[in-house]
Amino acid sequence: MNDASPPAFFRQSHAPDDRQRWAVKIEYDGTGLVGWQRQKAGLSVQQLLEEAAARLAGGRDVPSITAGRTDARVHATGQVAHLDFPISMPLNPRAVRDGLSYHLKDHPVVILAAAPVAPTWSARFSAIRRRYRYRLLNRPSRPGIEANRVWHVRHPLDVPAMQSATQILLGQHDFSTFRAVACQAKSPIRTLDRLDITRDGDLILFDVEARSFLHHQVRNLVGTLQLIGCRRWDSEHLRTALEARDRCAGGPTAPSEGLYLVGVDYDPDPFG
Amino acid sequence: MNDASPPAFFRQSHAPDDRQRWAVKIEYDGTGLVGWQRQKAGLSVQQLLEEAAARLAGGRDVPSITAGRTDARVHATGQVAHLDFPISMPLNPRAVRDGLSYHLKDHPVVILAAAPVAPTWSARFSAIRRRYRYRLLNRPSRPGIEANRVWHVRHPLDVPAMQSATQILLGQHDFSTFRAVACQAKSPIRTLDRLDITRDGDLILFDVEARSFLHHQVRNLVGTLQLIGCRRWDSEHLRTALEARDRCAGGPTAPSEGLYLVGVDYDPDPFG
């Protein structure tokens, strides 16, 4: 994902006068998708959502903006976007939710909630917090049920070692070490508000929260913490890597299929 | 599933002298499978497991017996079976686990553990407890990520009402009301040791344990409890239905995709 400053063509943030803006909460299985953003290479969530909205709007274009531009194969249980429908349409929350879901029925994408919002409200710029969960399956056997839903790591990971290393990462830092080379954000400074690691049977869950993230930041953090979990790195190595402010000093990028955008927070909550 | 008395051709329970018996713990996604038992209609777990074992055994037949003959589309995270390998093969737990999993790699079936057992040990007849979990997604929107992994019920269910109704079902009863017409068990008497219902967000989980179950018993219990959850039945209705000892008095069979065989217990635990 990349929550950084948008390119110029995304900057229009007010709904035009002839439009009504709706916020939608979306769940999707990213396995067969190329990610949020439209691409020629395959189906994106954006394309599916906008095509469903256009069908609901009788063929008129309905542009969308999202809170988190998830990468290919990344999942979401609480993605948020806004859609600008023609002002003439009679809409209500249930009709938007069920109407969009109906037109998405051939795809693993579903609308969980819909709510009308002010023309100045933005799924992207009004967000005060993004919440991600990374799911790692830590056992010798590959996943039988959760293929494409977890990162499978065979060797046993030291969870307490990873937990204590998170202290180095929490708070405000220059996260250049954990930022994709292609990241478009102007600043590499971010504030990590939460990085909890818990074991649940064979699963290791990473719960990560911040106002916004750099491109690949969560996956780069998890990939690096995994080096600590298998004792190839210690905490001092992590501190040195963070202070290097250089992607080359960081660990590998954890695979996209373990990552879930679980929620985006707004104040007030439009779905509240 | 059907854990009842086996047909005659299953009764051979001792491993022959030229065989070594191994217990295996299996996880599978039942979605594309016809269930445990071999059928001409499609791929079964039994066929996949026995073909993998035959490849490991250099082409020789390796018969299997399972603890729970799950139906089509039912999943397992802790199924147990035993396999009779030729006595001449040098085997160890890791080689059996990883060798079988390797030959299963094109299918959503994986071996979690393997252990040598006595020739008289039986995955089916030595089991002292079967544990099932039924997962119900209770929200207006269909599953985006967990299609084929849950039963989707749109209308809100009254979990406390279902919880208090379980008191009627716990313990030893004639469960004819909750038994598939095709069930082969000699007796409809079973002892339900656990029936816990918990809500976890939009999921409602039914955790059910007994020494053995009748065919469709868990799915029939869940389908009937759901009638209480949506207030079409009250507890008295459930009591009357149980006492009728008649499948026609029971509620509908909950769909197979919500059901998981999560574990089978033995004393001692061969995988311990």
User: What percent of chain A stands above pLDDT 70?
Assistant: 96
Give the tokens for residue B58: 């250099």
* pLDDT mean over B158-167: 98
Residue A127 neighbours by CB under 8 Å, 6+ apart: A3, A67, A80, A211, A212, A264, A265, A266
Among A126, A153, A171, the domain-final residue is: A126
**Strand pairing report for A75-86 and A259-265:** parallel
Q: How far apart are CA B245 and CA B259, in angstroms?
A: 24
Q: Are residues A157 and A249 in the same domain?
A: yes
Whether A71 is catalytic: yes
Closest C-alpha among B135, B134, B165 to residue B230: B165
Residue B13: the pLDDT is 75
Contact B194/B207 with Cβ under 8 angstroms? yes
pLDDT tens profile A52-87: 999 999 999 999 999 999 999 999 999 999 999 999
Give the confidence band of A182 by pLDDT, cuts at 50, 70, 90. Answer: confident
**Cβ-count burial of A79 within 10 angstroms (0-12 exposed, 13-18 middle, 19+ buried)?**
buried
Q: Is the pLDDT of residue B12 over 80?
A: no
Bond prior to A268 in cis (omega within 30° of 0):
yes
Among A126, A156, A173, the domain-final residue is: A126
Grouping H, G, I as helix, E, B as strand and the rest as coil, residue B51 is helix
Q: Give strand pairing partners of A132.
A: A208, A261
CATH number of the domain enclosing A255: 3.30.70.660
Q: Are residues B110 and B154 in the same domain?
A: no
Q: Are residues B106 and B36 in the same domain?
A: yes
Q: Is the pLDDT of residue B206 over 50?
A: yes
What value of ipTM does the predicted structure carry? 0.91
Instruction: Give long-range contacts, CB 8 A cutoff, 24+ apart: B40-44.
Output: B42/B72, B43/B107
User: What distance in Å separates residue A268's CA from the closest CA in chain B?
Assistant: 21
Q: How far apart are CA A113 and CA B121, in angstroms?
A: 53
Q: Is residue B5 part of a domain?
A: no
Closest C-alpha among A59, A102, A96, A103 to residue A81: A96
A112 interaction partners in chain B (CB closer than 8 Å):
139, 141
A145: nearest CB among B29, B111, B140: B29
Closest C-alpha among B242, B88, B89, B219 to residue B165: B242
Residue B26 phi/psi, 5-degree rounding, is -125, 140
Q: Is residue B1 part of a domain?
A: no
* pLDDT mean over A248-257: 97
Q: Is residue B225 part of a domain?
A: yes
Place of tokens 């149980």: B242
* pLDDT mean over B78-82: 98
Among B126, B142, B169, the domain-final residue is: B126
pLDDT tens profile A112-134: 999 999 999 999 999 999 999 99
Q: Are residues B100 and B172 in the same domain?
A: no
Q: Are residues B117 and B36 in the same domain?
A: yes
* pLDDT mean over B44-63: 97
Q: Are residues B135 and B122 in the same domain?
A: no
Q: Is residue B2 part of a domain?
A: no
User: What distance in Å separates residue B112's CA from the closest CA in chain A?
Assistant: 6
Q: Which residue of A has its CA nearest to B105?
A: A142
B96 interaction partners in chain A (CB closer than 8 Å):
none
Q: Are residues A28 and A52 in the same domain?
A: yes
Q: How far apart are CA B147 and CA B127, in angstroms?
A: 31
Give the confidence band of B250 by pLDDT, cuts at 50, 70, 90. Answer: very high
User: What distance in Å separates residue B177's CA from the closest CA in chain A?
Assistant: 32
Q: Which domain holds residue A39?
A: 16-126
Residue B182: the pLDDT is 87
Q: How far apart are CA B98 and CA A142, in angstroms?
A: 10
Q: Are residues A112 and A140 in the same domain?
A: no
Q: Is the pLDDT of residue B1 over 80?
A: no
* pLDDT mean over B8-20: 74
Place of tokens 């995994």: A226
Contact B112/B27 with Cβ under 8 angstroms? yes
Residue B268 neighbours by CB under 8 Å, 6+ apart: none
**Strand pairing report for B64-66 and B151-153:** unpaired
What is the domain count for chain A?
2
> How far is it between the farthest Cα atoms of chain B?
61
| Average pLDDT for chain A | 95
Higher pLDDT, B61 or A182: B61
Contact A261/A76 with Cβ under 8 angstroms? yes
Q: Are residues B163 and B184 in the same domain?
A: yes
Q: Is residue B6 part of a domain?
A: no
B205 DSSP 8-state letter: E
A147 interaction partners in chain B (CB closer than 8 Å):
29, 108
B111: nearest CB among A26, A112, A141: A141
| Average pLDDT for chain B | 95
Q: Is residue A4 part of a domain?
A: no
Q: Is residue A31 part of a domain?
A: yes
Q: Are residues A137 and A257 in the same domain?
A: yes
Q: Give strand pairing partners of B263.
A: B131
* pLDDT mean over B165-173: 98
Q: Is residue B69 part of a domain?
A: yes
Q: Are residues A238 and A137 in the same domain?
A: yes
* pLDDT mean over A141-151: 97
Q: Are residues B89 and B194 in the same domain?
A: no
Q: Give strand pairing partners of B131.
A: B209, B263
